[in-house]
Each structure stands twice: as structure tokens, then as C-alpha cells.
A and B are shown apart, each in its own frame.
Chain A
Amino acid sequence: MSNQIFRDSDSDRQFSASWFTGRVFVYSILLLWAFICLFPIYWTITTSFKMAPDVMKGNIIPWLDFTPKWLGWRSLGLSPETIGIESTVREEFLKRFWNSAIVSVCSSILAVGLGSCAAYGLSRFNYRFGFMRNSDISFFFLSQLILPPVVLALPFLVLYKSLNLLDTRIGLILLYTLTVLPIVIWIMRDQFSSIPTELEEAALVDGLSIWGAFTTIIMPIALPGMVAAFILSLVLTWNEYFFAALLTSSHAKTLPVMVASQTGSQGISWWSMAALSFAAILPLIVIAIILERYIIKGMAAGAVK
């Protein structure tokens, strides 16, 4: 055993070393960015369990630096001791939460319904509406994306006032549907054009009407895309602040408006603000973790042709 016959040449060994440093480099960047993404969320969660001195001292790690207290959640009426007792803050919070949920879910459903039908029609038939052809109609829908919300905000304020729709959920639902409709149409158009038309042709030969074919054959195939569009709309509408701040005052106020209105008045009641913020972002965090696949699919839909 004097001479090893097969061995790595010098260049190969160098390669392994550089490969290793490359790995370290890649993972350290990834971990750094993951830290940047996650730390604010972590900070919010922990702050909601802190007492005043803990916040002042900047303690970060629970049980090691400080003992978690239910202070923030108690001020929301959501801690274990107060959950059974009546609490006006909690009722307020739940009302806003419920408003947000209804508005975002309804407008997303409406947008996905209207948008998928329109996208399906545009991907299958040639329309002519005055001078507008199919591509013009598509452009008309998508161009709504460019429209900045400020342009609509003040006219809607005045219109809603005269229609008595100010500070109602239905008014917000209609407006939110409008804002997410172009995105839904964009995603769904991509979905439908990837489904071969032979499927409907077979269904039509077998005696289904065009709407029958759409609802029983095409919709189930396009369902993942619809879920993606629905979730994206849900995210956008749940987080929407601008219209909600302008068009609601007491009855239909949504969660972001409540969070925003607390920041100014409450001074530095860190724990309760942290609890409130965290409660506001929690539903979407859960959705993101569970349905991450669909969200990515939805956003990727328009990107790759």
C-alpha cells in the first residue's frame, strides 16, 4: 500500500474548498434574509407578552431575558383570565375583525366569480364591442390596475355619500372587488388559455350547454388557479387601508383602520399595540404558511408565458 493509484487531483481539491465556501456564503445570505424577514414578526409577538420595563430594556428572548406576561392580550380582552369576562375592547376588536373578514372574503369571491367568467370568455371567443376587439377588452380590464386609488377615492366619497353607502360594508366590497378584478382576470386568463378547447368541444357534442361545460368541466380543472387568485385578492383586500380610512368611520371600520387609529392616540402602550398588530396579521401568516404553494402559483401565473 505504498502508492494510492486513484486520488483527487489538486484542482479537484481546490474545487471542493471553493464549493464549501460558496455553500457557506449562500446559506449565510439566505439565513440573513430569512432573519430580516422574520425578526419584525418575532419582535411583535414577543413584545405583546412584555411588561413596560422589558420593553425599555430591550429584552428579546422570552424566559431568558424576561418572563412573558399576558399584559398586551389582557388589554385586548384576549388573555386567559379575561376571555370569559365581558370586555368592550374585545368586542370592538372582534367587530373590526369580522368586518375585515366579511369585506375581504365577499369581495374576493365576487372578483373571482366575475373575473373568471370574463377571462374564460376572452380566452375562448372573439368579441366585438363597438371598436373594441378581444385584445382591447383585455387591455381595458387590465388597465384598471394602473388606476391609482386616489383618483377614485374622492369621487367615490361624494357618490357614496349621496347613495348612502358611506360607512357600509357593501360599499367597501364593491370598491375592493374593482381593485382586485384586474389581477384576477390576469391570473385566470393565463389559466384558461392553458386548458385545451377539445375538452369543451367533447362536452358540447355530448349535449352540454356552454355554461354547463364551463361549470362542470372547466371550473374543476381551473380550480387551483382560482384558489390562487382568491388568496391573492384576499391578501390585498384584507390589508387595504386607503379606501377603508376614507370611506368608513364607525360602523364598517376594518381592522387596518383600527390598528392605524390606535398608533396615534395610545402613546406608547407597546404591549397592546403589539398584540393588536399581531392579531391583525395572524390570519394571513397562517394562510401564507398553509397555502404558500397557491400564492406562489398565482403570482407566477402572469410572469411566465
Chain B
Amino acid sequence: MSIEEGDKLHVVTADDISNNKKRLGKFLVWGSALILIFTLLIQALDTNAYLTIGLETWRPSLYAYVLWAFCLCASQVLTRGEHGKRVLFVLPAALFVISMVVFPLLFGLVIAFSDWNLSSPDGRTFNGWDNVRQMWVDPFYWNALKNMVWYTLVIILEYTVAFGLAILLNGQIRGRKFFRVAFLLPLMLSPVAVSWMIGKSMLEIRFGPISRFLRWLASEPSTDLPSLLYYPGMYIADLAQWFGWASPSFFGSAGIARAMIMAMDAWTFIPFMMIMILAGLQAIPRELYEASEVDGASKWRQFLEITFPLMLPVSITAVLIRIIFKLKLADIIINITSGGPGGATDSVTSFIFREYRDRSNVGYGTLLAIVYLVIIVIAMTVLIKLADRWMKPRY
């Protein structure tokens, strides 16, 4: 890593680094690298039974790797002085991410093309494209991918609700602090707790408050009521019965179960989008509205001509981040429906989770995950490119 000219923070430094220091730095890096290679070699030999030290884990290699990483950082300062100190800002994070992501990903690629069931004693064997062929004819995986499309499309609805709430919060209202905290709270709750609180408790068919409320709506109003209340009551009851609310079931049929999962996920994440949009709304200068008011624009015109266009960049950021979070959706599904009924609510993540939990099928699961990653990367790249083009000023 080297530093180019034209830094924002320009510093003139007179570093005179003695040759001894330089040599020490080089020695540290190469010495620790040698230790690392040596440890790896011994461990590899040991696991393949050429040596009999009997190391149980790969911990020594891990320690050697950490040592090497430290020495690399230290040598940057030793050999390059002030420049090295600047590199030290980014280097630890970069090393951390590389070792935690790139290495496991490469390892994952190896696993993906092998037949590896952790519960079987055979261990890992390469099986080439077998996993891909299995994936190609696995209806449940394609079904999970299709569900992800549905789950992602609902974001448009979530975005609308979040935008509406943000506009209301941005207006002249009393008790704004209360509303902000109240609206924020769902985001704080863990999906697991949410899946119990709402999915298992409030949506319980016999005595959950929501099903009770629906049943109450569907019941015939008592004849004692004044006619002003009685007839609307009858009408609501008929409508509710038509919806089948007299005996509600939330996770029985595919469509409703999926809608319930969507609703719960939306409940936790609408605050997130709302806050981002609210921040964007507060950044719009008031003068624009005043000027448009002078020109006689109605509220609706103001929204169409000022608020929405100016909010476009913020909206796109919020929606993109929301999509990223949505693609990780799993906790609620794992805990409430575990994919049922018949895989109707399965997300890719929850499907792979069960693939591992129920069958310990590491090889196949990893392949599915990597295919998912490829699809996501392609889709997100296209989306970001589209968003970029869309955000460019047209005038």
C-alpha cells in the first residue's frame, strides 16, 4: 500500500529512516511469515499423519497468522515512517476483512463443489458439478428464490408507508419526541422476540388479541344497538365473514402466511426507512416551499414537484439498504413457520439454514449460498447502475 500525492490533509515530513530500522522491519515481516509457513506446514503434515505431534486444532496456525499480521503493521511504521503511520489507519481493518471474508469465501468455494455431510464419517469428497445438478432440479430452492422476489417487491409498499409517516412527523405536530421514540422502538426489538411476541402470541388462533379482534369484527352485532351502529356493524360483519375472519388462520394458507411474514418484517424495518427519509426531508430548504406557495401550488403539487424529486437520492439509498437487509431475512421465518406451509414462506437463508440443521449437508448448502451470492451481486450491480443513471440530473 502506498500513498499518492494530493492528499486532502497535506503533511510535509522529513523522515530519515535509518537502514537498521528498515532492516528490522523487513526482518519482522519475513521472519513472522516464515513462522507462519512453518506452522502451516507442520500442521498440514500432522493432520495428514506424516508427523505425530498430535495437534488437535489449527489454533497454532491462527496464532502464527495473528503474529504475522501484527508484524506487518509494525513494519509499515518501521520501514516507512510517517507514511507507514498513515497506512496504519486502513491496514488493520483491511487485513481483518480480508482474512474474515476472502479466505472463508475461497474455502467456501472448495466446499461448494464437494459432497460433505458433517454427520457422515466419510468426510469431504469432491463431486464436481453434482451439487449444481442437484440444485437445478431442487424445486424448494427455486421456490425460495421466487419467495425472495416477492419479499423484495413488498419494499415498495414499506417505502410508501415510511414516506407517509416521515412526512407526518416532519410537519408541525405536538409530542414529536414521543412519536419518534414510539416509531423507532420496533427497530430495536430482536426478530426472535418479535416472532414470539407477534407471530406466536398475538396471532395465536384461539386467544391471540388479533384473532380475537377479527372474530369480534366477524360476529353479528347485538340487536340492542341503536340502528346507527347496528347496520354498519352488520355490514362489517358480513365483510369480515367474507374474508373468513370468523375463524382466522394466519399460517395455514400459503398467501396469508407469506403476507404475515412480510408484515412482521415490515413492522420492524419501516422505522429504519422512515428515519432516513425524515433526515432527507429536514434537509430540504424551506424557501422552496415558500416560493411554490407564492406561485399558488397546492400541497399535492408541492409534493410532486418539490418533495419527491428532491428526496429521490435519499429514497434510493434507503430502498437499496432496505433491499440489502431484506435479502438477509431469515430469523422470523426460522422461528415462526420454518418455511411452511409447503415452503411458501421460505427465504433462501432459512432454507439453507434448515438444509444444514436437518441434514448437516454442508457441501450442498454452501453451493446454494454461493449461487445466491452471485445472483445478489448481479442484481445489486444492475440496480445500482440503474439508480445511478436515474439520479443524474436531467436538465
Chain B min CB distance to A29 (Å):
6
Most buried by A among B86, B107, B212: B86
CA distance A136 to B172 in the complex (A): 43
CA distance A202 to B189 in the complex (A): 45
Candidates A44, A158, A238, A287; contact of B190 at CB < 8 Å: A238
Decide: A300 and B201 in contact? CB cutoff 8 A. no
Contacts of A144 in B (CB 8 A): 97, 101
Decide: B373 and A124 in contact? CB cutoff 8 A. no
Contacts of A34 in B (CB 8 A): 178-179, 182-183
Interface 9-mer from B55-63, B152-160, B252-260: B55-63
Chain B min CB distance to A191 (Å):
14
Sorting the interface of chain A by its residue count into under 10, 10 to 19, 20 to 34 or 35 or more gives 35 or more
Contacts of A87 in B (CB 8 A): none
Decide: A129 and B1 in contact? CB cutoff 8 A. yes
CA distance A40 to B177 in the complex (A): 20
Q: Is A64 an interface residue (CB 8 A)?
A: no
Decide: B89 and A125 in contact? CB cutoff 8 A. yes
Decide: A239 and B190 in contact? CB cutoff 8 A. yes
Instruction: Name the residue on B nearest A288 (C-beta).
Output: B188
CA distance A188 to B107 in the complex (A): 31
> A-facing mask of B341-384, CB < 8 A → 1, else 0?
00000001100110010000010011011101100110010000
Decide: B207 and A303 in contact? CB cutoff 8 A. no
CA distance A129 to B107 in the complex (A): 24
Contacts of A117 in B (CB 8 A): 88-90, 92-93
Decide: A154 and B185 in contact? CB cutoff 8 A. no
Most buried by B among A123, A153, A235: A153
> A-facing mask of B277-308, CB < 8 A → 1, else 0?
11110010000000000000000000000000
CA distance A58 to B42 in the complex (A): 66
Decide: B349 and A197 in contact? CB cutoff 8 A. no
Q: Is B265 an interface residue (CB 8 A)?
A: no
Instruction: Name the residue on B nearest A197 (C-beta).
Output: B9
Decide: B207 and A150 in contact? CB cutoff 8 A. no
Quick one: which of B147-198 are within 8 Å of A by CB?
Answer: 164-165, 168-169, 171, 173, 177-198
Instruction: Name the residue on A nearest B314 (C-beta).
Output: A303
Decide: A296 and B93 in contact? CB cutoff 8 A. no
Interface 9-mer from B132-140, B225-233, B325-333: B325-333
Q: Is A27 an interface residue (CB 8 A)?
A: yes
Decide: B90 and A204 in contact? CB cutoff 8 A. no
Quick one: which of A62-103 are within 8 Å of B by CB?
Answer: none
Contacts of A221 in B (CB 8 A): none
Instruction: Name the residue on A nearest B116 (C-beta).
Output: A158
Decide: B366 and A178 in contact? CB cutoff 8 A. no
Decide: A246 and B353 in contact? CB cutoff 8 A. yes
CA distance A25 to B95 in the complex (A): 54
Decide: A178 and B100 in contact? CB cutoff 8 A. yes
Q: Is A224 an interface residue (CB 8 A)?
A: no
Decide: B197 and A303 in contact? CB cutoff 8 A. no
> B-facing mask of A187-221, CB < 8 A → 1, else 0?
00000000001001100100001110010000000
Q: Is B78 an interface residue (CB 8 A)?
A: no
Q: Is B241 an interface residue (CB 8 A)?
A: no
CA distance A219 to B267 in the complex (A): 36
Quick one: which of B314-329 are within 8 Å of A by CB?
Answer: 314, 317-318, 321, 324, 327-328
Contacts of A270 in B (CB 8 A): 201
How many A-B contacts if CB must be within 8 Å?
316
CA distance A119 to B96 in the complex (A): 14
Decide: A120 and B89 in contact? CB cutoff 8 A. yes
Instruction: Name the residue on A nearest B77 (C-beta).
Output: A211
Contacts of A263 in B (CB 8 A): 195-196, 200, 335
CA distance A177 to B93 in the complex (A): 10
CA distance A197 to B10 in the complex (A): 9
Q: Is B53 an interface residue (CB 8 A)?
A: no
Decide: B97 and A287 in contact? CB cutoff 8 A. no
CA distance A211 to B11 in the complex (A): 13
Decide: B180 and A128 in contact? CB cutoff 8 A. no
Q: Is A60 an interface residue (CB 8 A)?
A: yes
Contacts of A163 in B (CB 8 A): 57-59, 62
Decide: B165 and A277 in contact? CB cutoff 8 A. no
Decide: A211 and B85 in contact? CB cutoff 8 A. yes
Q: Is A259 an interface residue (CB 8 A)?
A: yes
Chain B min CB distance to A265 (Å):
13
Given A43-B197, A163-B62, A239-B192, answer yes or no on A127-B207 (Cβ-Cβ < 8 Å).
no
Given A37-B182, A43-B209, answer yes or no on A200-B89 (Cβ-Cβ < 8 Å).
no
Decide: A242 and B56 in contact? CB cutoff 8 A. no
Contacts of B7 in A (CB 8 A): 124-126
Instruction: Name the residue on A nearest B6 (C-beta).
Output: A126
Q: Is B223 an interface residue (CB 8 A)?
A: no
Q: Is A41 an interface residue (CB 8 A)?
A: yes
CA distance A257 to B267 in the complex (A): 21
Decide: B9 and A124 in contact? CB cutoff 8 A. yes
Decide: B182 and A47 in contact? CB cutoff 8 A. no
Q: Is A223 an interface residue (CB 8 A)?
A: no
> A-facing mask of B8-34, CB < 8 A → 1, else 0?
111100000000000000000000000
Given A281-B190, A303-B314, answer yes or no on A210-B108 (Cβ-Cβ < 8 Å).
no
12 A/B residue pairs, CB under 8 Å, sorted by A = A26-B173, A30-B173, A148-B349, A148-B373, A152-B105, A211-B85, A242-B334, A259-B190, A259-B192, A260-B335, A285-B185, A296-B278
Other than the given A58-B207, A210-B86, 11 more pairs (CB < 8 A) read A34-B179, A34-B183, A56-B206, A118-B90, A121-B89, A126-B6, A151-B108, A153-B353, A177-B96, A281-B190, A300-B275
B residues touching A (Cβ–Cβ < 8 Å)? 1-11, 56-59, 62, 82, 85-90, 92-94, 96-97, 100-101, 104-105, 107-108, 111, 164-165, 168-169, 171, 173, 177-198, 200-202, 206-207, 209, 212, 267, 271-272, 275-280, 283, 313-314, 317-318, 321, 324, 327-328, 330-331, 334-335, 348-349, 352-353, 356, 362, 365-366, 368-370, 372-373, 376-377, 380
Closest 9 CB pairs of A and B: A121-B89, A300-B279, A239-B190, A118-B93, A164-B57, A155-B108, A303-B276, A284-B188, A126-B4
